[in-house]
Amino acid sequence: MKSNKNNSDDRSIVADLALPEVHALVSKLHFSPNEGRIWLDESRCLLLQVETLKDIYKELQAYSGPDYTREFLTRIGFTTGQRDAEMIIKKQGISSIKEQIYAGGVLHALQGFLTSIQAGSSALNAVDMKSMDYHAEAYWQNSIEAEIHLAMHGVSSHAVCWFSVAYCSGYLSACAGKPIVVEEIECQAMGHTHCRIQAKPAEMWALSQSEQSQITTHPIPDDDQGGELVIGSSAVFKVLRHKTACVAETDATVLLLGESGSGKSLIAREIHRLSNRADQAFVEVNCAAIPDQLIESELFGVERGAFTGATATREGRFEAAHQGTLFLDEIATLSMTAQSKLLRVLQNGELERLGSNRTIHTSVRLIAATNADLKKAVQDGHFREDLYYRLNVFPIQIPPLRERRDDISLITSVLIARFSKRHGRKLKGISSAAMQVLIYHDWPGNIRELENVIERAIIMAQDVDFLDTHHLTTIEGTLTTQDFLSLNQKGDLTLSSELIRNAAENANPKVLSLDEFAEQMVHQGSINLDQVQDAITRAAVKHSGGNISRAASLLGITRARLDYRVKKIT
């Protein structure tokens, strides 16, 4: 490809890994061997050996040919780059285009694909990226794709880093808000010492129609998540959503099973929302909250004078839910008499108010829920067997939150937005360390407990931008979590508790006295007095904005003496 600028001084750098963002991203990578999960921020990852990746490439090329393999990897790479840019921009709150692109290079290196090296004398110009004549160049080393190709086929006649090139295109396009195309000009698989890429707006490249279609910027669609907290991306949640959608379009009775606080009420409302009865009433009854002597009148209604205190005729919840949906929570607590009447309604759609012989016909879609073992209740004689089978038409098991760890970050984001608005806070999000604590807490109270923890944290978080670990508390105290493995600054796996403790210590460093500082320097060894004096001199000049007289005053020496030392250093 021809370049519109040949002077290397005018070239921008696509990525540079020698930046502080490295540790910020590395700290988001953590491992949970006990659960078989690896996470990068909020996304679950997979650790593959290079040999496995070679086999995938080999099978792709054998069954589909090199052309389709390239197109396939290009499409996947472009979408992956877009998604990672979204994570960097939205979730990490990096607004500067220059920092976004730096972080992208760091992230791709962290994923093990390659590393970028400095090219040219200027850093990425954020203004250039928005202009029509934007041009950027970078050099790559240690490309996994080049390594695989060399191992499988030997030296190539063409560039082979298809996934990484497309990834870079997708990432830059998302940052720029317009299609940016990256082409590989040199490749290690071709025998070059490094891979060299160039990035320009799509219209500046002579692209075929097929190539153009592969780099068209498409917004990453959000799943149809429904309302409130019926959200998630985990496998178990997808199964739950599928079952919910399947049964919603019918009038079948649904039995929701799950632990307390797992979201049974939310799922019941979602079934109603997706049903043909959505424009009719949704009536919710907590059977456990109504005394035994009143449950029948609440469900089926009461005629005036039916019992002492019944001063007026009142319709029951079944009548109130006519043509709509009735949700009976904690149904295992119903008395045997109430169970008998409920069975009749389910069988015939008929009921009689307490104190009346008049039969009332009703059309109600029933959803029942319980956290009890109904089979055991039947065996113990506490629940009617015929009612159990009548309710158990379409059972849905709602997984506890500890089995939906992939969804916790998404749910947390919704809760932070909701409670920040409710309590007048202007939070930008939650720290990575705090999110890891949330993900690995066991949540015995499920979503309800998570709601309480987040709301409590937001109330406590005054004059801060992000929730942190010390904001997360339960009734018992600080939120507890199981240990997982994460990378420290050296790239070694370390227990999460150590990382969190070290982060807290780094956030609140101990201020050393001059004597303590000197003792620490001597203890570390290889101390050089001239180097210490030079360092203090540079610090004073920097603090004074380059004003030698002011710096000399800070150090308690004459201007001439300081000027001599500065000249000696430089």
Asked whether residue 203 falls in the same domain as residue 96, the answer is yes
In this prediction, residue 387 has a pLDDT band, given cuts at 50, 70 and 90, of very high
pLDDT value of residue 17? 34
Q: Is residue 372 part of a domain?
A: yes
Which of 399, 418, 449 corresponds to the end of one domain?
399
Higher per-residue confidence, 31 vs 84: 84
User: Do 117 and 184 lie in a common domain?
Assistant: yes
21: amino acid identity, one letter: E
Residue 321: inside a domain: yes
Q: Which of 215, 249, 269 is the last residue of a domain?
A: 215
309 falls within a domain: yes
Q: Which two tokens stand for residue 64?
A: 């589909």
Same domain for 371 and 356: yes
Residue 269: the pLDDT is 95
Per-residue model confidence as pLDDT tens digits over 465-485: 888 888 888 777 767 665 555
CA distance 163 to 170: 10
User: Does 49 map to a domain?
Assistant: yes
Residue type, 302: V
Instruction: For residues 380-403, give the mean pLDDT.
Output: 94
Query: d(Cα 105, Cα 42) in Å, to the nearest integer?
Result: 19
**What is the rounded distance in angstroms from the CA atom of residue 467 to the CA atom of residue 300?**
48
CATH of the domain at 479: 1.10.8.60
Residue 536 near residue 522 (C-beta atoms within 8 A): no
Percent of the chain topping pLDDT 70: 77
What per-residue confidence (pLDDT) applies to 371?
A: 94
CA-nearest of 395, 257, 253, 394 to 332 is: 257
CATH number at residue 66: 3.30.1380.20
247 and 159 housed in the same domain: no
Verify that 241 and 380 share a domain, yes or no: yes
Of the listed ranges 111-115, 182-186, 227-231, 561-565, the least confidently predicted one is: 227-231
Q: What is the pLDDT of residues 161-195, one digit of tens each?
A: 999 999 999 998 888 888 888 999 999 999 998 99
Q: Does residue 323 carry a pLDDT above 90?
A: yes
Q: What is the pLDDT of residue 527?
A: 63
Position 516 pLDDT exceeds 60: yes
Region for 261 from its dihedrals, namely left if φ exceeds 0, alpha if ψ lies in -120 to 50, beta otherwise:
left
Say yes or no to pLDDT of 219 above 90: no
User: What does the pLDDT average to over 362-376?
Assistant: 94
The answer to whether residue 306 scores a pLDDT higher than 80 is no
Band of residue 218 on the pLDDT scale cut at 50, 70, 90: very low
Count: domains in the chain: 4
pLDDT tens digits for range 247-276 = 999 999 999 999 999 999 999 999 999 999
Whether residue 369 is predicted with pLDDT greater than 80 in this model: the reply is yes
In a domain, 227, yes or no: no
> Are 377 and 415 members of one domain?
no
Same domain for 409 and 346: no
Dist CA 73 CA 66 (whole Å): 10
Q: Do the Cβ atoms of 272 and 265 come closer than 8 Å?
A: no
**Joined tokens for residue 550:** 């002011």
Q: 385 and 279 in one domain?
A: yes
Q: Which of 215, 243, 269 is the last residue of a domain?
A: 215
Q: What average pLDDT score do residues 137-158 get?
A: 90
- 167 and 46 housed in the same domain: yes
The band of 102, judged by pLDDT with boundaries at 50, 70 and 90, is confident
50 and 143 both lie in a single domain = yes
CATH number at residue 262: 3.40.50.300
CATH of the domain at 544: 1.10.10.60
Looking at the chain, the whole-number percentage of residues with pLDDT higher than 90 is 30
pLDDT of residue 310: 67
The average pLDDT across 93-109 equals: 78
Strand, helix or coil for residue 354: strand
Q: Are residues 332 and 406 in the same domain?
A: no
In which band, very low, low, confident or very high, does the pLDDT at 492 lie, cut at 50, 70 and 90? Answer: low
Q: Would you say residue 507 lies in a domain?
A: no
CA distances from 478 to 460, 468, 469, 473, 568 (A): 13, 12, 9, 4, 54
Domain range for residue 425?
402-497
Q: How far is CA 136 from CA 13, 124, 562, in A?
A: 6, 7, 43
Quick one: angle between helices 50-86 and 144-153, nearest 10? 150
Residue 209: is its pLDDT beyond 60?
no
Question: How sure is the predictor about 449, in pLDDT bands with cuts at 50, 70 and 90?
Answer: very high
Residues 260 and 360 grouped into a single domain: yes
pLDDT at 316 over 70: yes
**Is 207 inside any structural domain?**
yes
Report the chain's mean pLDDT, rounded to a whole number. 80
Buried b vs exposed e over 259-284: b needs ≥16 C-beta within 10 Å? bebbbbbbbbbbbbbbbebeebebbb
Give residue 546's pLDDT.
79
Inside any domain, residue 223: no
Q: What is the mean pLDDT of residues 305-333?
A: 85
